[in-house]
Structure 1
Amino acid sequence: MNFVGYAWLRESLKLSVFPLRRPAKVQPVTRIKRIGETLAIPPNTAPLPDDLLGHLLFALKHEGINLAILAQTLPQIPAAALEAELQKAPNGIYIRKACFLREAFTGEDLRQHMPVRGTFVPLFDPQLYVTMPGERNSRWRVEFNGIGTLAYCATVERTPEIVALLEHDILARAQKFIQSLPSEMMDRTINWAYLHETKDSFAIEKESPSEDKARKFIQLLRQAHEGIPLSEDYLVHLQNATISNPFDMAAAFRHSQNHLAGPLQGAAGVTYIPPGPDLCRELMEQLMELGNDAPARIDPLVAAGIISFGFVFIHPFMDGNGRLSRFLIHHTLCRADALENGLLLPVSVAMKREERQYLQTLEQFSRPAREFWDVRWIDHGRFTFEFTGDSTIYRFWDATPGVRFTLEMAKRAIEVELREETVFLENYDRIVHAVNAAYDVRGSDLANLIMMCLTNNGTVSNNRRKQYQYSVPTEVFDYIEEVARSLLDEQQP
């Protein structure tokens, strides 16, 4: 086995962790470098075989922070081994990090031969990860700057894609765009955003909301601007407002195991199993605290991605989790005061258009998590579930894919969805003005025909011509098409 660092720990200790995206392996290279999806390690740099602490310190130095592996590995390393290494390098950065984490994970104090000195070191390298303002541990002079706590923490790597999206300053661009619109156009665009955010959030769940259900959800979206702190009561209220069946309305976070299922029959059809009820409640307490705190301390869209995907992975209700997870994007942005004038980014509209990518992002967590459950079919949708993994797979998770997707959808929401709707409304107004100046047509008929024409690339279909032939003169159909095509041609790139 040529694995090194985290990959060696995972394989040697048979840890319950997800596969590594970039495993470290010994290869015939002269320096540590990334080759494809592998971190290539020179033979003379690799730790000695079976050196548990050596591989852990190597990983901390060269592979960053993987809390799930560290939380399962450090309790297996004898205190004496860590203390001996600490005595050799009492101010060593990586042994200090290891000792800090072992004490946090085990509650067992390690013996220091002399007090640790030197500057504080961040646990997560801010050059490699998105971090929060840290909490300093004076004993080890380590600053915990993770997004969350050592009971629940999401990691977000500063990948080139995420760095570029953050530098794009999406929220500032959204505010600038909305403020550039005339007042009436701004109101119409925002109203469109609320309506279609609602419709598409339900559509992602393969539902079509009734008028009453849509109205309630729009009210919830508008109430997000109140910035109400997350709590169990508030989330239960939100869940009840989005569910029609009274038997599915929750009174609290779930007390039984739930799961997601695909088209296959039996246990093979179970595609994701969230944490059990007790762990669910514990993690929801952590997530709610993070949701109330993080929006003011890190980029609001990063916080929104973490809270949204974190919520759906915990799945605290038996129904309604998907819609609420997307609602939490807006709630988080509003908690950060990032959306003024009632603005809403129609991220669900963008997600619906990129539904396959949305599913792939979810599956980057759900598929490996499914491997740690033993599912047995009883009958007619009844199963037994046995968790064979470790709670750290839910406690310490990689939010990088979810944050990247959230940033991409927010960017699309402003640069595509809102702008396209604004252009649509402007074209609609210009056609109405032109037709009314030349003809006398009933307002409701004209409105329907123009909207149909614009959504049909400037053509009034034969079916629509037949439908309105007794209330609209033939030349009006032709004139609507003429004006619409002229406008659409002007707007071609």
Structure 2
Amino acid sequence: MNSAGYACLQDALQLSAFPLRQPARVQPVTRLERIGDILAVPPAIAPAPDDLLGHVLFALKHEGINLTILAQALPRIPAQALEAELRKAPNGIYIRKACFLYEAFNGEELTQHSPVKGGFIPLFDPEQYLTMPGERNSRWRIEFNGIGTLAYCATVERTPQIMVLLQHDILARAQQFIQNLPSGMMDRAINWAYLSEAQDSFAIEKESPSEDKSRRFIQLLRQAHERIPLSEDYLVTLQNATISNPYDMAAAFRHEQNHLASGLHGAAGVTYVPPAPDLCRELMEQLMALGNDAVKRIDPLIAAGIISFGFVFLHPFMDGNGRLSRFLIHQTLCRAGALENGLLLPVSVAMKREERLYLETLQEFSRPAREFWDVRWIDQGNMSFNFTGHPAIYRFWDATPGVRFTLEMAKRALEVELREETVFLQNYDKIVKAVDERYDVRGSDLANLVMMCLSQNGTVSKHRRKQYKYSVQEEVFDYIEQVTQTMLRDQKEEKEGAKIADL
């Protein structure tokens, strides 16, 4: 089966790139069409197998922009081939894009036999990709509208799932939800969000934070509202604040190779290898510049997803990268001015509940990236890491899965986590009030029993009855259960009635 476009370039030139989601294949069809997981190409419009420029132009026209492949393929095409094609179509959209990228990746100019005319053409099709306003190149009349630069760029496709999630206007709804709560309830809900976000961010890393660790992480989350720009010093300060072992505290971005591992022994257990230290530092400079700029130019949640996942894929520290990547979601939203009144969307709480989906999203990048590393076990605790790929796999990456996941978790954080906790607090207040009106119970005992009863779906356990039998009357336990169960039953019936009404 002959390939075309990016698939042909990848095969013919043995390029370092992740597997294409929908490779172009020459098929016995009469028109270009998407069939299952391939783009079926009629033989009549497929470029000749050895026509590399033809495949570049075909890909630019029919497959969008894949900078990872283009950055490697264009320098392998003779300048004369591009100049000859340009002579035939001096204002052609796709040859102009190819020439613009050729010069950017090669660092040398092509010969123009006549100036390019016409309006500016966006490099990324805004109907296919989420983009941001970019720099205009007058020589080729091309506007670079990617999210980033030609040194580091994330692509986000306008998938149906992402577009539906964006229509929810999650941040505005979260702000409205909090503002509509009574002031006392608002403070309690926000305090719960901070505590739970800290605990679950550690829990994702399989850590149980001490009270001191939780308090320090909560302080970080609150400080995000100060809107401090990203810098190496700032990120180092954040990393130090999330780590308790002084030997793991960084003084700068890493100067050695790190990796992630499973429980398997030796090289077989290495699941991800981020870029080498020098490339990591270069790309972190790009990511920080993007993080400081993008919040003003694209949807804050889109920016948050890109910065968070971009950070964890670069892994600039030897420890603490996961917690910091999730903190950066909150930090990005704060820098965009999207969270007022100290509001926090507890995305880590949502992620903890969707841990498998979180891991699968990370693996969409980490697994194919791992294929470009030759890892060898030397002896106990020592391995060699040899990168066999091209830096383009880290420079130009598909952020679509990470952005989709971030939007899903932000939506869940609002519609499930925050709302459920608010209902919990409202129920707690009503039960405490009902018991207080009938019985005289010590405040701390009543608070603990009501919370435990709510957490156990309306039951005060035998253990708790025994624990409090010398300070709380037996009938109080029964009354707490009765009030709680009645309230939960009424709410369940109300919810089911609302579902039926919606049908």
TM-score range, shorter chain: over 0.9
Measure, in 2, the Cα distance between the counterparts of 1:383 and 1:23: 35
* Number of residue equivalences: 493
Corresponding residue of 2:481: 481
The one-letter amino acid of 1:8's match is: C
What is the letter of the counterpart of residue 475 of structure 2? Answer: E
Q: Which residue does the alignment assign to 2:296? A: 296
Q: Aligned partners of 1:33 and 1:276: how far apart in 2?
A: 40
Q: What are the equivalent positions in structure 2 for 1:154-165 lying under 5 Å apart?
A: 154-165=154-165
CA distance in 2, matches of 1:119, 1:437: 75
Q: Tell me the distance in 2 between the aligned counterparts of 1:196 and 1:208.
A: 12
**Distance in 2 separating the partners of 1:322 and 1:17:** 25
Q: Distance in 2 between matches of 1:37 and 1:407?
A: 25
Aligned to 1:263: 263
- Give the Cα separation in 2 of the matches to 1:55 and 1:222: 51
| Corresponding residue of 2:390 | 390
Q: Which amino acid aligns with 2:103?
A: E
- The answer for the alignment partner of 1:41 in structure 2 is 41
Q: Which whole-Å deviations, capped at 9, do the CAs of 1:437-484 have from their partners, x for residues lacking one?
A: 011111111111111111111111111111111211111111111111
Distance in 1 separating the partners of 2:11 and 2:106:
22
**Separation in 2 of the partners of 1:330 and 1:195?**
14
Cα shift readout 1:66-92 (whole Å, capped 9, x = no counterpart) = 000000000000000000000000000
Match of 1:4 in 2: 4
Asked if 1:15 is matched to 2:15, the reply is: yes
1:76 and 1:201 map into 2 onto residues whose CA distance is: 45
- TM (norm. structure 2) is 0.97
Name 2:499's counterpart in structure 1.
none
Q: Which segments of 5 or more consecutive residues in structure 1 lack a partner in the other structure?
A: none
CA distance in 1, matches of 2:188, 2:23: 51
The 5 Å alignment of 1:230-249 reads: 230-249=230-249
Structure 1 stretch 483-492 or stretch 307-316: which is displaced more?
483-492
1:30 CA displacement: 2.1
Q: 2:413 maps to which residue?
A: 413
Secondary structure at the residue paired with 1:22? coil
Residue 104 (structure 1) aligns with: 104
Question: Which letter maps to 1:55?
Answer: H
1:147-170 Cα offsets, whole Å, 9 max, x none, are 000000000000000011111111
**Separation in structure 1 between the aligned mates of residue 12 and residue 477 of structure 2, nearest angstrom:** 74
Aligned to 1:202: 202
Structure 2 equivalent of residue 153 of structure 1 = 153
Equivalent residue number for residue 56 of structure 1 = 56
Q: Residues of 2 paired with 1:189 and 1:275: CA distance? A: 40
Q: Which amino acid aligns with 1:101?
A: L
- State how far apart, in whole Å, the 1-side matches of 2:461 and 2:47 are: 72
Aligned to 1:372: 372
Match of 1:219 in 2: 219
Aligned counterpart, 2:500: none
Which amino acid is the alignment partner of residue 396 of structure 1?
A: F
Q: 1:438 corresponds to which letter in structure 2? A: R
Distance 1:327 1:266 in 2: 31
Q: Distance in 2 between matches of 1:282 and 1:240?
A: 21
The Cα of 1:378 is off from its aligned counterpart by 1.4
CA distance in 2, matches of 1:388, 1:146: 27
User: How far off is 1:332 after superposition?
Assistant: 0.4
1:337, 1:486 → 2: CA distance?
42
Verify: 1:177 aligned to 2:177, yes or no.
Answer: yes
Q: Verify: 1:80 aligned to 2:55, yes or no.
A: no
The letter of the residue matching 1:374 is D
**1:70 maps to what in 2?**
70
The 2-side partners of 1:67 and 1:441 are apart by: 68
In the alignment, the residues of structure 1 paired with residue 393 and residue 140 of structure 2 have an alpha-carbon distance, to the nearest angstrom, of 26
Partner in structure 2 of residue 127 of structure 1? 127
Distance (whole Å) between structure 2 residues aligned to residue 467 and residue 305 of structure 1: 46
Q: Return the alpha-carbon distance in structure 2 between the equivalents of residues 19 and 326 of structure 1.
A: 27
The separation in 2 between residues aligned to 1:431 and 1:31, in whole angstroms, is 67
SS in 1 for 2:157: coil
Q: Distance in 1 between matches of 2:479 and 2:154?
A: 57
1:335 aligned residue: 335
The answer (yes or no) to whether the contact 2:306–2:403 under 8 Å persists in 1 is: yes
Superposed displacement of residue 291, structure 1: 0.5
**Which segments of structure 1 move beyond 3 Å, counting only runs of 4 or more?**
none
Q: 2:428 corresponds to which residue?
A: 428
1:263 positional shift? 1.0
Unpaired stretches in structure 2, ≥5 consecutive residues: 496-503
User: Once the two structures are superposed, what CA deviation does each residue of 1:215-243 show, in whole Å capped at 9, x if it has no partner?
Assistant: 11000000001110000000000000000
- Corresponding residue for 2:450? 450
Matched, 1:279 2:279: yes
Q: 1:211 deviation in Å? A: 0.8
Q: Report SS of the residue matched to 1:472.
A: coil
For 2:311, give the aligned amino acid: F
CA distance in 2, matches of 1:105, 1:463: 69
Letter in 2 for 1:60: L
TM-score (norm 1): 0.99
Mapping for residues 352-367 of structure 1, pairs under 5 Å: 352-367=352-367
Q: In the TM superposition, what is the alpha-carbon distance from 1:317 to its structure 2 partner?
A: 0.2
Task: Give per-residue Cα distances to partners, 1:234-292, cap 9 Å, x unaligned.
Answer: 00000000000000000000000000000111100000000000001000000000000
Give the fraction of aligned pairs with identical amino acids, expressed as a percent: 80
What is the alpha-carbon root mean square deviation over aligned residues?
Answer: 0.7
Q: Which residue in 1 is equivalent to 2:498?
A: none
Cα contact 2:8–2:49 (8 A) shared by 1 = no
Letter in 2 for 1:131: T
Q: CA deviation at 1:486?
A: 1.1
Aligned to 1:322: 322
Structure 2 counterpart of 1:128, one-letter code: Q
Q: Provide the rounded CA distance (Å) in 2 between the counterparts of 1:457 and 1:155.
A: 45
Q: Aligned with 1:73: secondary structure?
A: helix
User: In structure 2, the residue corresponding to 1:34 is in which secondary structure?
Assistant: strand
Provide, for residues 375-401 of structure 1, a one-character-per-residue CA deviation record: whole Å limited to 9, x for no partner: 011122211100000000000000000
- What does residue 141 of structure 1 align with? 141
